[in-house]
Structure 1
Amino acid sequence: MQNVDELKKLVGEEAANLVKDGMKVGLGSGSTVYWMVKRLGERVQDGLNITAIPTSNTTAKWAVEFGVPLTDFSKVQQLDIAIDGADEVDKNLQLIKGGGGALLREKVVAAAAKEFIVIVDESKLVSHLGAFPLAVEVTPFGWEITSVSIADLGGTPTLRHKDGEVFVTDNGNYILDCSFNQILDPEALQKDLKMLVGVVETGLFVGMADKVIVGKADGVSSITK
């Protein structure tokens, strides 16, 4: 029986092997993506010619460490493929992301890709989104008011802290982790949240994923639209 870390490695490497020569690649964030970036680095050493855009400073460091060439959106307007993890995936391939705090950049990169592939272990598959708190990135100024507005939509927001300090995203914003219990209409909630002044982005990824690669005890499977 494989443990969760082994499943993450399995799906990360599987996804990395989908990248083809000449592609422009979006690199997600998180522990599963680590294995994907590491495998991509091995393929680059073997002659694979790619350029990549990372979704977080941490992923950028991994890419440099493993020799994956990086670029940015001043040079590239569209990506061939983006590969990222998720905190929850439902049967309609709707996602909750943002546990690592990189949701804004992750969404920008996913939206710029012709194909968005999600890599998870089977523990991330759910019947309904919402058991995992929804990350909402907000401006530091007035976050208290934004928090009240989110509560009016039925969520229970908590300002994210890390190491005893308020967590600040790579974009200089705060994150409110919002408990909604069950999110029955992710698309409607996404629209309502984005209408709130002070909300920069949410961790709801609706209608974006093209394929989900799942690591299971008996191997790897994939779910497509």
Structure 2
Amino acid sequence: MRIVLVGPPGAGKGTQAVRLAEKLAVPHISTGDLFRANISRQTELGKLAKSYMDAGNLVPDEVTIAMAKDRMEQPDAVNGFLLDGFPRNVAQAEALDELLRTEKMTLEAVLDLEAPEDEVVKRIAGRRICRKDSSHVFHVAYNPPQQEGVCDICGGELYQRADDSEDTVRTRLEVYHTQTEPIIDYYKSQGLVRTISAMGPVDEVTERALEALKSEQAENH
């Protein structure tokens, strides 16, 4: 299956993308990972992206699209992929359609994870990361440490990332509404969107997503 995953920051896209890709046995293609991989391997695209990022500018669509194209042409993506963080706007969605047409591929579903804005703000603004090991993540409401400000696992100091503050989260949501949300209407016009609630336990959200995709496959066969 070829799937695009969309949803606001804090809806749990990253978590669901990894789980769904594993269940569907397709690669999880995340723009963040693409940038990191190309920059660390010092590919031409990586060097180009880094030059924009170092100057504090957004990486142009064509560079992102070229990286995505390169990744989608890898052998492990022949039978499908799950795109996370791409396309980020309508221009990228149109470029993806063009790319898939050229490669004689079709997109089968766009999974839209929905979560109320206040919940998203609460989820992100409550996150606390360990300074010693950033994989140790806590939450002031949902997963509090035993001792405030101290990591249960290694005793490191817990802190709130600058881009997790409430003001920054609301700004990120504003960017999502103006730039990314329009792709949902773009794909709705193609009959591809399956909207599911991102609320509740992680396992339940994964099950909902798989059910939505199953109904999509059933309709197409």
Q: How does the TM-score come out when normalised to structure 1?
A: 0.25
Q: How does the TM-score come out when normalised to structure 2?
A: 0.25
Taking CA–CA contacts closer than 8 Å with sequence separation of 6 or more, which of the two structures ends up with the larger relative contact order? 2
- Which one has the bigger helix percentage? 2
- Which one has the bigger strand percentage? 1
